[in-house]
Amino acid sequence: MDVLGTPKSLDEDLYSRQLYVLGLPAMQRLREGKVLLSGLQGLGAEVAKNLVLMGVGSLTLHDPHPTCWSDLAAQSRTWQEAGLRHLKNVWPSSTKLSRSASTQATSLRTYCWTSRFPPNPTSQAAQSPSPSLGCRVGWAVVLDLLIVRCTQVVVLTASNLEEQLKVGTLCRKHGVCFLVADTRGLVGQLFCDFGKDFTVEDLTEEEPLTAAIQHISQGSPGILTLRKEADARYFCDGDLVTFSGIEGMTELNGCDPRPIHVQEDGTLEIGDTTSFSCYLRGGAVTEVKRPTTVSHDPLDTALLQPRVVAQSPQEGRRARCLHQAFRALHKFQHLSGRPPQPWDPADAEKVVDLARALEPLRGTEGELLDEALVRTVALSSAGVLSPMAAMLGAVAAQEVLKAISRKFMPLNQWLYFDALDCLPEDGEFLPNPKDCAPRGCRYDGQIAVFGAGFQEKLSHQRYLLVGAGAVGCELLKGFALVGLGAGANGGLTVADMDHVERSNLSRQFLFRPQDIGKPKAEVAAEAARRLNSDLRVTPLTHPLDPTREHIYGDDFFSCVHGVAAAVDSFQARHYVAARCTHYLKPLLEAGTQGTRGSASVFVPHVTEGYSGPASAAEDAPHPVCTMRYFPSTAAHTLQWARDEFERLFRLSAETINCSQQALTSLADRDRPQLLQVVVGLLRHRPRNWQDCVVWALGHWQLRFRYGIMQLLRHYPPDKVLKDGTLFWSHPKQCPQPLEFDASQDTHLLYVLAAANLYAQMHGLPGSRDQPALRNMLELLPLTDPQHLDSIFSSDLASTELGPEQVERLNEALQDWSEGSPLEPLRFEKDDDSNFHVDFVTAAASLRAQNYGIPPANRIQSKRIVGQIIPAIATTTAAVVGLVGLELFKVVGGQPPRPRPRPRSAFRHSYLHLAQNSFSRFVPPAPAIQKAWPNLA
């Protein structure tokens, strides 16, 4: 039996949050995936970073281009020292850039194999310091990588159309998934070709729907009735289901998937059950997810008949216009040998003319070309922006994940994303060619879009970043790249009280293994300074909460221009938002859950304030009586097991440690029972491992056999209430006592975990030897229930102890008091070697067996009990890119501009990468309240 329940090759600690998004099968496929990435400017570097963090098995990097200053505007780890030495002809050999990129990837995470893509030795790219774009790929090497190394996915960034068509044809021929990603200033493009028949194994990130069964009739069709708490609306006609844990009608357990029909009353028709045994109790019905086949067109076809991702017909028309703009930009570069110059009206008009002359797209007769849109794209297309690279790089990496893991629906087939709303709406403030000309500095890519004056304004900003977790680290990286607070009068303050944990390393790329245990704020600040040596960043390890307002008070906020919130609770968001409202500071906020993400901006007097929920719905507590005696869901059993851990291994130890005071004052309702359970069947303090096993086995008997028998004595299965209804009716499920069986894995795991925790609490050595434990348990006698009855008082009856129990307890506690103090154990979800999650999982599963409830597996249990929010690097990077775009607008609206940007310029954003849903909308206006409402 594998206690961890996950493959040995998968590091569950590292990928714990991502496992809840992808699941084990998809994670295993990702770990075996092989990707070729060509183009390592800002966009390519973002794709590579995300793939490495997610755990792709093999990543081959290629780029023969020399580094230039504009790359530094969006590169999280570019090689400034080399660029400073060679300002014009940088690196005639492609291997230097590839070597640096490979080093970067492997330093992020040692589980990813990377290799450098050498240039074709006969090509001009390998011999010339200024390789032409048309010959920069060694086709023989590409073919070798595709066939010999069995590459599954090829991604091209910063490539011309000729390259895209040639590589796309080659990938199509060999059955390799092909992606093209590109950004031009404030516009981005992504294309996916996964072949003619690509099978998607799982469309969603949700676990298969599982519901508890109340009854199944014998008949044709058999009618399945779900328990009251289950919701049949989540099942659909034609869904395939299977069954498990049924007593009586066991023919259904593990059967081939059966189609269902959902009836109006919520019952399910499940096919002919006439010949099956009579249903007795328990069991679960579980959805079987169906694979879906996707068909993509090759690039040459998709260019003229594009299928674009759009949420509305208006978005579709805009996307097709941007499609033509990109085609025109490729044509301009092919004819001129260069991209359009920044904000050059003549070059922009040439691009518009080329767009007019393009062959019309098929199926779009009557659609007019939006020439103003094409012109704006051309004027700003020379720039390279970190937020755009972050956004498009995240979506591209997510599509690579879909190609490898066959999880989630791929894009169909073109995605166009534009943030032209970042540009001033007033033509008076638009950049000019002179202001956007290269300065020979790391911000040239950004200056090409917004101008040098805007860059100067960015450098003088002073911002507070609250939180240095996954979102916070990405934000800090983005701030470093755009130069926020990098000037003489600027600065960043990073506030976070937490320390680096191992699970952080798969999403927070500023951290390294050697940083585990260090303060997040300090590590992140130092890493950000390495990204941009001009950055002025101050770490604070004090939380931003009401207890620290003497630190984050008037003096502090008077020196801050704005706040970025990257916190993980609604309570913290509300407090940060309240501080911003009080001090009239703009707030940038982002959050993620799995492949869903949001980015919001709140500007005083311009937009509404933050108004999120007060708390998450899952934080609502369950009624105590429901958890203790009448559970009906896996969540109930898990909360009960979590409380058991606290009572057995923390509260009881603390009570024993102050036993002298406890014995003179037993008025506290829980103290007698706490003292009883820690003593258990033992008459003396445990001396060795076997004593701990005896205690654990006795407690198994108490909780899952004797305790249930005791409950049924008070409330027999046939008990009838005064109104004539059965006591054990919906939603109560009549429990059944269990028989201990050491051959059953869950029984053994409970005793193994409980005995080890009991040993830890008493400072004794434990054991992981499961065969030896099984042999020991076969030799130990099971306790007579009457003996348990004489030791333990019923928590259903009076809490007062009888004289015999008090005497027994006093004798035992006297023995306990002679040893060293006990060690109270505090629940830690992220250490899979400490038996904490193992105990809770096993206890909850046994409790579920008592009540006929479908149990949660270990991964589900860890997420629910540990209150873990599913997370993945791609969603984090995407929302941070969206926040960065809003930052440009907030800063752009400051002096010397006479007034802030209008509300119509700002965007709240929501995305769902698994479902290819992208929504951006103008924030609501602030509420207007009259100071004297009774006055006219």
The b/e string for 35-60 (b: 16+ C-beta within 10 A; e otherwise) is: bbbbbbbbbbbbbbbbbbbbbbbbbb
In the sheet where 187-193 sits, what is the strand order?
113-116, 58-62, 34-38, 153-157, 177-184, 187-193, 414-418
**Which DSSP string do the residues of 461-515 spell out, in sequence order?**
-EEEEE--SHHHHHHHHHHHHHTTT-STT-EEEEE---B--GGGGGT-TT--GGG
Over residues 655-682, mean pLDDT: 57
Residue of 767 and 727 predicted with greater confidence: 767
Return the pLDDT at 143: 56
For 813-829, what is each residue's pLDDT tens digit? 777 777 788 899 999 88
DSSP code at position 298: -
* Closest of 569, 572, 525, 519 to residue 547, by C-alpha: 572
**Secondary element (H or E) of residue 870:** none
Residue 10: pLDDT above 50? yes
For residue 105, pLDDT over 50 is answered with no
Across the beta sheet with 223-226, what order do the strands follow?
258-259, 240-244, 284-288, 210-216, 223-226, 268-269, 261-262
How far apart are alpha carbons 888 and 744 in whole angstroms?
A: 60
Band (pLDDT 50/70/90 cuts) for residue 142 is low
Cβ-based neighbour number of residue 676 at 10 Å = 20
pLDDT of 5 over the 80 cut = no
**pLDDT of 133:** 32
pLDDT greater than 60 at residue 77: no
**Residue 557 is encoded by which pair of tokens?**
């906020």
Each residue of 435-457: b (16+ CB within 10 Å) or e?
Answer: bbeeeeebbbbbbbbbbbebbeb
For the chain, percent of residues with pLDDT exceeding 90: 58
Q: Greater confidence, 296 or 80?
A: 296
Residue-wise pLDDT for 494-538, tens only, equals 999 999 988 788 777 798 889 999 999 999 999 999 999 999 999
pLDDT(666) > 50: no
Q: Is residue 1 very low, low, confident or very high in pLDDT (cuts 50, 70, 90)? A: very low
**110 residue type, one letter:** T
User: What is residue 350's three-state secondary structure?
Assistant: helix
Please give the residue that has the higher pLDDT: either 255 or 802.
255
Does the pLDDT value for residue 109 go beyond 50? no
Digit-coded pLDDT (tens) for 257-287: 999 999 988 899 999 999 999 998 888 899 9
pLDDT of residue 322: 97
Q: What is the pLDDT of residues 41-67, one digit of tens each?
A: 899 999 999 999 999 999 988 887 777
Crossing angle for the helix pair 452-459 and 873-892, nearest 10 degrees? 110
Q: What is the pLDDT of residues 160-171, one digit of tens each?
A: 999 999 999 999
| pLDDT-derived band at 178, boundaries 50, 70, 90 | very high
For the record, the structure tokens of 535 come out as: 């950055």
Burial class (CB in 10 A: 0-12, 13-18, 19+), 927: exposed
The residues annotated with a catalytic role in the active site are 625
In whole angstroms, what separates CA 88 from the centre of its chain? 42
Q: Which of 163-177, 224-238, 770-784 has the lowest mean pLDDT?
A: 224-238
Residue 441, CA distances (Å) to 84, 386, 482, 532 in order = 10, 15, 12, 12
- Do you know the residue count of the chain? 936
The yes-or-no verdict on residue 99 having pLDDT over 90 is no
Residue 84: the pLDDT is 29
- CA Rg, the chain, in Å? 32
In this prediction, residue 103 carries a pLDDT of: 40
Instruction: Measure the CA–CA gap between 822 and 843, rounded to whole angstroms.
Output: 23
CB atoms within 10 A of CB 351: 24
**Cα separations in angstroms, 589 against 466, 575, 634, 768, 813:** 10, 13, 34, 46, 54
CA gap 62, 39 in Å, rounded: 6
Q: Cis omega (within 30 of 0) on the bond before 731?
A: yes
**Average of pLDDT values for 424-442?**
86
Give residue 183's pLDDT: 97
pLDDT of 402 > 50? The answer is yes
Q: What is the pLDDT of residue 78?
A: 41
* Structure tokens, 555: 């003096």
